[in-house]
Amino acid sequence: MKPAVFLDRDGILVKERLVDGKPFPPASPEQMQILPEARSALERLRRRGFRLVVVTNQPDVARGLIRPADLRRMHQRLLAELPLDAVYVCEHDDLDACECRKPKPGLLLSAARDLGLDLARSFMVGDRWRDVEAGHAAGCRTVWVDRGYRERPPAVPPHARVQSLQEAVAWILSQHPQEE
């Protein structure tokens, strides 16, 4: 069983759109911008033996604001341009009451089962309260990249609170013994 770093998509790997201090995903594949630090940060984690898995809520599919085919194109691009193992996505809205929508841990649990991941040795990195709470519920250590959004903070304290993906990676590597 391998350790993993689970990563939220928007605000961690992809530039979010801010509207009145609240984050929103890109509205189309053409608007999606991979953050410049994402590749080097993920490569550092990969060199230390981590599997890298995106776990992302994308309720705009259920809301009819983005087509499933466009969302797939975005994720294909992420897989082509970044050293990722997989992308797990919840396309539901809160009213669907599914098990995969963060803050529930369904996406992380599915990835762990499918990819043979050790959740106790894994980390969840996200910029919203839902990410931190999903990571806790799955039994991972959590890193909150606090972007200062105008929304509530995590109800469960993260293991680390940082300002960037690079800081998150540095903290994870300080917590993870070198693999032989």
Q: Where in the sequence numbering do the catalytic residues fall?
A: 8, 10
Strands of 2-136, DSSP E: 4-7, 17-19, 22-24, 51-57, 86-90, 123-126
CA atoms within 13 A on the CB side of 72: 3
Q: Are 144 and 158 in contact (CB under 8 A)?
A: yes
Helix (H) or strand (E) holding 114: helix 106-115
